[in-house]
Amino acid sequence: MTTRAEKALAASAARHSGTRCVALCLVSTAATGAGLLLPAVLGRALDLLLAEAPATRWVLYCAGLVLLLAVLDACQTVLTGTVDARTAAWLRGRLTEHVLEVGPRAAARFGPGDLVARLVGNAAQAGTAPAARAALVAALAGPLGGVVALALIDLWLALVFLAGAPVLTLLLRTLARDTSTCVARYQEVQGHIAAALAEAVGGHRTIAAARAADRETARILGPLPELSRAGHRMWQVQGRAAGQAVAVAPLLQFAVVAVAGVLLARHRLSVGEVLAAWRYAVLAVGVGVLVGQLAGLAQARAAADRLGEVLAEPAPAYGPRELPPGPGRLELRGITARRGGRTVLDGVDLVVPGGTTLAVVGRSGAGKSLLAAVAGRLADPDDGEVLLDGVPLRELTHDALRRAVGHAFERPALIGATIEAAIGLGPAAPCPARIRQAARTARADDFVRLLPDGYATAVADAPRSGGESQRLGLARAFAHGGRLLILDDALSSLDTVTEAHITGALLGGGPGTTRLLMAHRAMTAARADAVAWLDEGRIRAVGTHEELWRDAGYRAVFGEPGAKETP
Q: Is the pLDDT of residue 281 over 80?
A: yes
Q: What residue spans in the chain does CATH classification 3.40.50.300 cover? A: 330-557
Q: Which amino acid is at 381?
A: P
Q: Is the pLDDT of residue 165 over 70?
A: no
Report the percent of the chain where pLDDT is more than 70: 88
Q: What residue spans in the chain does CATH classification 1.20.1560.10 cover? A: 4-192+224-311
The pLDDT score that the predictor gives to residue 210 is 74
The per-type count for the chain, helices as H runs and strands as E runs, is 23, 10
The answer to whether 356 and 530 have CB atoms below 8 angstroms apart is yes
The answer to whether 88 and 123 have CB atoms below 8 angstroms apart is yes
The pLDDT score that the predictor gives to residue 64 is 94
The pLDDT score that the predictor gives to residue 288 is 52
Higher pLDDT, residue 272 or 296: 272
pTM of the model: 0.70
The pLDDT score that the predictor gives to residue 534 is 94
Rounded to the nearest 10°, the torsion over CA 91, 94, 97, 100 is: -60
Tell me what the mean pLDDT of segment 40-68 comes to: 89
Q: How many Cβ atoms from other residues are within 10 Å of residue 479's Cβ?
A: 24
Q: What burial letters (b/e) apply to 231-258, b meaning 16+ CB within 10 Å?
A: bebbeebbeebbebbeebbeebbebbbe
Q: Which amino acid is at 496?
A: T
Higher pLDDT, residue 55 or 530: 530
Report the percent of the chain where pLDDT is more than 90: 22
The answer to whether 314 and 156 have CB atoms below 8 angstroms apart is no
* d(C-alpha 147, C-alpha 452), whole Å: 74
* d(C-alpha 534, C-alpha 553), whole Å: 12
Residue 352, CA distances (Å) to 486, 517, 520, 546, 547 in order: 12, 11, 19, 18, 18
Q: pLDDT category, 178, cuts 50, 70, 90? A: low
Classify burial at 338, counting beta carbons within 10 Å of its beta carbon; exposed 0-12, middle 13-18, buried 19 or more: middle
The pLDDT score that the predictor gives to residue 2 is 46
- List pLDDT tens digits, range 106-124: 877 887 778 888 888 888 8
Tallying the residues shown for the chain, one arrives at: 567
* d(C-alpha 73, C-alpha 501), whole Å: 70
Classify burial at 99, counting beta carbons within 10 Å of its beta carbon; exposed 0-12, middle 13-18, buried 19 or more: buried
- List pLDDT tens digits, range 455-491: 898 888 887 787 888 888 888 888 887 889 998 877 7
Q: Is the pLDDT of residue 102 over 70?
A: yes
Q: pLDDT category, 387, cuts 50, 70, 90? A: very high
Q: Which amino acid is at 432?
A: P
Higher pLDDT, residue 172 or 235: 235
Residue 57, CA distances (Å) to 53, 70, 153, 511 in order: 11, 20, 22, 86
Backbone dihedral angles phi then psi of residue 349, each to the nearest 5 degrees: -115, 125
The answer to whether 423 and 472 have CB atoms below 8 angstroms apart is yes
Q: In which element (H, E) is residue 499 found?
A: helix 496-507
Q: Which CATH number fits domain 330-557: 3.30.930.10, 3.40.50.300, 3.40.190.10, 3.40.720.10?
A: 3.40.50.300
- Which class is domain 4-192+224-311? mainly alpha
Tell me what the mean pLDDT of segment 222-239 comes to: 78
Higher pLDDT, residue 206 or 312: 312
Residue 353 neighbours by CB under 8 Å, 6+ apart: 327, 329, 514
Q: Is the pLDDT of residue 567 over 50?
A: no
The pLDDT score that the predictor gives to residue 242 is 61
Tell whether the torsion through CA atoms of 537, 540, 541 and 546 is positive or negative: negative
* d(C-alpha 366, C-alpha 18), whole Å: 52
Classify burial at 199, counting beta carbons within 10 Å of its beta carbon; exposed 0-12, middle 13-18, buried 19 or more: middle
The pLDDT score that the predictor gives to residue 224 is 83
The answer to whether 207 and 213 have CB atoms below 8 angstroms apart is yes
Q: What average pLDDT does the structure give for the chain?
A: 83
Higher pLDDT, residue 260 or 289: 260
Residue 555 neighbours by CB under 8 Å, 6+ apart: 549, 563
Q: Could you please report the per-residue DSSP string of 268-293?
A: SS-HHHHHHHHHHHHHHH-HHHHHHH
